[in-house]
């Protein structure tokens, strides 16, 4: 049988490369966590302070995030993953289970949810997340809105988008002392009622608007 020879140096290089890649990924994660902690504390972004929190040098921060836009994009993805905002169902009928779980995650990350609307940098992240969430909800609502006229379709999606939000969670938490799951169940019920009515009668929203204005 022919002997199989391995190259120890090649294996050593491959191992070293994998270790460096893992270390770089861990460093990147530490920097993002440090920035998020800073913003949760209602501090304006300071890269030197973020570097200190992460235990790295300022040049290392810039090596991972050479521009503000690169940092915002990475933070947006990181925040979305923390808040499970990347898991929006593709079908509105699945919101019954999704929304209570989402609002429970908001409970667990209260400082981050509130900071997104206050810290200047997180406002940019919040705006990017809003656009992505709106797109996801429009997609999830297609089975309902395809029977509506364009204006009513936008209204229906806007209602769902308003309900499935950190703002709704915050108001229900602060004004009515509801836990995340309790608020989420209420929102899921409201969405379920809206969807059922629009499926039963696609013109109900338009007729309701006409009745209120006294039009024909």
d(CA 96, CA 38): 34
Spatial separation of the C-alpha atoms in residues 81 and 142, rounded to whole Å: 25
Pick the CATH number of 1-66 from 1.10.3210, 3.10.20, 1.10.10, 1.10.3470: 1.10.10
Read off the pLDDT of each residue in 189-214 and give the average, rounded to a whole number. 82
Q: What percent of the chain lies above the pLDDT cut of 90?
A: 44
Residue 111 CA to residue 181 CA, distance in Å, equals 17
- The domain made up of 67-213 has a fold known as Tetracycline Repressor; domain 2 (1.10.357)
Tell me what pLDDT residue 121 has. Answer: 62
CA distance 192 to 210: 23
How far is Cα 15 from Cα 2, in angstroms, rounded to an integer?
26
Instruction: Say which residue, 165 or 178, is predicted with more confidence.
Output: 178
How would you classify residue 177: left for phi > 0, otherwise alpha for psi between -120 and 50, otherwise beta? left
Indicate if the pLDDT at residue 181 is higher than 50. yes
- Domain ranges for the chain, please list them: 1-66, 67-213
Query: Is the per-residue pLDDT at 193 higher than 90?
Result: yes
Mean pLDDT for 182-195 is: 97
Minimum mean pLDDT among 14-23, 104-113, 196-205: which range? 14-23
Q: How confident is the model at residue 46 (pLDDT cuts 50, 70, 90)?
A: confident
Most confident of 23-32, 71-80, 115-124: 23-32
Supply the pLDDT for residue 49.
85
Would you state the pLDDT for residue 216? Answer: 45
* pLDDT tens digits along 57-75: 999 999 998 887 788 778 8
Mean pLDDT, all residues of the chain:
83
What pLDDT does residue 75 have? 81
Q: How far apart are CA 202 and CA 216, in angstroms?
A: 18
Tens of pLDDT, residues 9-38 = 565 555 566 777 788 888 988 998 888 888
pTM: predicted TM-score of the whole model, two decimal places: 0.71
Q: What's the rounded Cα separation, in Å, for the pair 147 and 1?
A: 71
Arithmetic mean of pLDDT, 189-213: 83
Distances (CA, A) of 79 to 40, 62, 145, 155, 209: 12, 20, 30, 28, 38
Per-residue model confidence (pLDDT) at position 117: 63
In this prediction, residue 14 carries a pLDDT of 56
Q: What is the mean pLDDT of residues 68-84?
A: 78
Q: Considering only CA atoms, which of 25, 27, 45, 26 is closest in space to residue 35?
A: 45
């Amino acid at each position: 049988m022919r002997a199989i020879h391995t190259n120890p140096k090649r294996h050593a290089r491959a191992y070293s490369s994998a270790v460096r890649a893992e270390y770089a990924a861990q460093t990147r994660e530490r920097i993002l966590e440090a920035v998020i902690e800073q913003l949760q504390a209602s501090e304006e972004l300071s890269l030197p302070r973020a570097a200190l929190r992460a235990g790295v040098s300022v040049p290392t921060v810039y090596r991972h995030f050479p521009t503000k836009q690169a940092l915002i994009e990475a933070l947006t993805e990181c925040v979305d993953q923390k808040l499970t905002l990347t898991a929006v169902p593709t079908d509105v009928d699945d919101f019954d289970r999704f929304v209570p779980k989402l609002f429970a995650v908001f409970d667990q990350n209260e400082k981050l949810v509130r900071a997104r609307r206050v810290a200047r940098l997180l406002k940019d992240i919040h705006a990017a997340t809003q656009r992505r969430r709106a797109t996801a909800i429009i997609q999830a609502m297609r089975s309902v809105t395809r029977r509506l006229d364009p204006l009513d379709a936008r209204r229906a999606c806007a209602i769902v988008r308003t309900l499935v939000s950190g703002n709704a969670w915050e108001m229900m938490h602060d004004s009515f002392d509801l836990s995340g799951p309790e608020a989420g169940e209420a929102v899921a019920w409201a969405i379920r009622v809206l969807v059922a009515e629009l499926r039963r009668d696609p013109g109900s929203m338009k007729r309701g608007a006409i009745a209120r204005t006294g039009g024909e």
